Amino acid sequence: MDMSNGNGDGDVKESLLVEGKTQLGGAGWRSRLYSVNSLRNEFISRLPDKVRGCVDLESSSPVDLSKASGLTQGEKDYYESQFANLKSFEEVDAIVTSDRLDEDDVEEQSKQERAMKISNYANIVLLLLKIYATVESRSLAIAASTLDSLLDLMAGGILWLTHLSMKSINIYKYPIGKLRVQPVGIIIFAAVMATLGFQVLVQAVEQLVEDKPSAKMTDDQLVWLYSIMITATVVKLALWVYCKSSRNEIVRAYAKDHYFDVVTNVVGLVAAILGDTFYWWIDPAGAIVLALYTITNWSGTVLENAVSLVGQSAPPEMLQKLTYLSLRHPQVKRIDTVRAYTFGALYFVEVDIELPEDLPLKEAHTIGETLQIKLEKLPEVERAFVHLDFECTHKPEHSILSRLPSTDP
């Protein structure tokens, strides 16, 4: 059974699902064997005393062995990951057996749209306030924070248009939907943010090289500066708290931006005040710190989302969930291959299963289709493909493309 990328090198020795058992008995026996209760009971029965004494087996909370004595760090990580796998199997069972349609999802979607609208309106108001603060203070660090707010507004527009684009789908032009618009929109957003950071960096370095101190601020200017920047920081902090728990990647991108604004506002205000009160060069130095933070932070976001479009394999924990679900499906004799790879925000899944060779086509199709439906119920899965076979000794069905086809006439 291959639980990795289809190459047969998945590390199943440390898994709760042992390869040898998949070939024994009938479907009913296997369903009982691989129920989460049987896996949990078998796993707990084999726990050494030094682990059993540190674990509350009745608690529904995640197992934490960080303070356990007598265990190496590797042992702690192993047992924690196995208990986490059991918890994820319980979640799989709850999802695939539920026929409820997700009123929670409808409510979650309305919350996501509300979060985006509030963020966009807040960005407009805060931009106007910070423009005034920049004019009054003439601080380069405050200017860097204001430029960031201007870009927030532009980036918010990009993310909002991305969201609307994903909702309006022409199934003939985009037969599997437009969810990949999401990481593309985030990449554009992050790339512009990193570009802004570079521009501010250049301006701050120029001011330091030219050795031109800024004029001192009056008491009225300081009052306006404090009022606007503290207000902006509090608003952005509240928006970060509101957006960070969303399951939507776009809303989480807003949350990341709000958190980034809290940092830039605080650093910008402190740099401006210290530069005005003590040494003028603190102000451009603060702007340089903000610029480097911007470039590093958003460059990482670009890389993360670019990788999600390439087709990177799912982590072992996700592959175990998919294998558990497939093993429990009726009449599946063996699992040949389980693949899951990124294709935007979610995973594409490929499962190759072995069925009895004398099974009628109608029954085989029903088995494959119902397994596909179960797999696609998982919130991490965008689309699942189930391949039916009567044996598992053949080579993998697909080769890995190593070059693009020639476009020459």
CA separation, residue 367 to residues 127, 219, 326 (Å)? 57, 76, 11
Is beta strand 347-354 parallel, antiparallel or unpaired with respect to 334-342?
antiparallel
Highest mean pLDDT among 35-44, 261-270, 354-363: 354-363
Please determine, for residue 216, whether its predicted confidence score (pLDDT) is greater than 80: no
Which helix (DSSP H) or strand (DSSP E) does residue 106 occupy? helix 103-137
Mean pLDDT of 192-215: 76
Please determine, for residue 204, whether its predicted confidence score (pLDDT) is greater than 90: no
Q: Give pTM, 2 decimals.
A: 0.65
Residue-level pLDDT at 7: 41
Residue-wise pLDDT for 303-335, tens only, equals: 888 888 888 889 988 999 999 999 888 888 888
Share of the chain above pLDDT 90, in %: 9
Domain segments of the chain as ranges:
105-310, 316-389
Give residue 32's pLDDT band: very low, low, confident or very high (50, 70, 90).
Answer: low
- Cα 230 vs. chain centroid, distance in angstroms? 31
Decide which of 5 and 76 is more confident: 76
Highest mean pLDDT among 109-118, 234-243, 312-321: 312-321
Q: Which residue in 119, 146, 150, 148 sits closest to 132, CA to CA?
A: 146
Residue-level pLDDT at 8: 39
Burial letters 59-78, b for 16+ CB under 10 A, else e: eeeebebeebeebeeeebee
Please state, rounded to an integer, the average pLDDT across all residues of the chain.
76
Please determine, for residue 177, whether its predicted confidence score (pLDDT) is greater than 60: yes
The span from the CA of 264 to the CA of 262, in Å, is: 6
Residue-level pLDDT at 141: 63
Please determine, for residue 270, whether its predicted confidence score (pLDDT) is greater than 60: yes
Decide which of 389 and 212 is more confident: 389
Residue-level pLDDT at 372: 93
Share of the chain above pLDDT 70, in %: 76
- When mean pLDDT is compared across 99-108, 167-176, 186-195, the lowest value belongs to 99-108
Question: Which structure tokens are listed for 392?
Answer: 């598992």
Residue-wise pLDDT for 350-372, tens only, equals: 999 989 888 999 999 999 999 99
Mean pLDDT of 257-283: 80
Domain 105-310 in CATH 1.10.1060.10 = no
Residue-level pLDDT at 220: 73
Under CATH, which number does the domain 316-389 receive?
A: 3.30.70.1350
Q: What is the 3-state secondary structure (H, E, C) of 141-172?
A: HHHHHHHHHHHHHHHHHHHHHHHHHHHCCCCC
Decide which of 352 and 197 is more confident: 352
Residue-level pLDDT at 60: 66
Please determine, for residue 266, whether its predicted confidence score (pLDDT) is greater than 70: yes
The span from the CA of 291 to the CA of 281, in Å, is: 15
Contacts of 221 (CB under 8 A, 6+ apart): 136, 137
Please determine, for residue 110, whether its predicted confidence score (pLDDT) is greater than 50: yes
Dihedral (CA of 106, 112, 118, 120) sign: negative
Residue-wise pLDDT for 146-156, tens only, equals: 766 676 676 66
Residue-level pLDDT at 280: 77
Neighbours of 273 (CB within 10 A): 21
The radius of gyration of the chain from alpha carbons, rounded to an integer in Å, stands at: 27
Residue-level pLDDT at 6: 42
- When mean pLDDT is compared across 48-52, 245-249, 370-374, the lowest value belongs to 245-249
Residue-level pLDDT at 56: 73
Question: Which structure tokens are listed for 93?
Answer: 């069972």
Please determine, for residue 385, whether its predicted confidence score (pLDDT) is greater than 90: yes
Instruction: Please state whether 172 falls in left (phi above 0), alpha (psi between -120 and 50) or beta.
Output: alpha
Residue-level pLDDT at 386: 93
Residue-level pLDDT at 375: 93
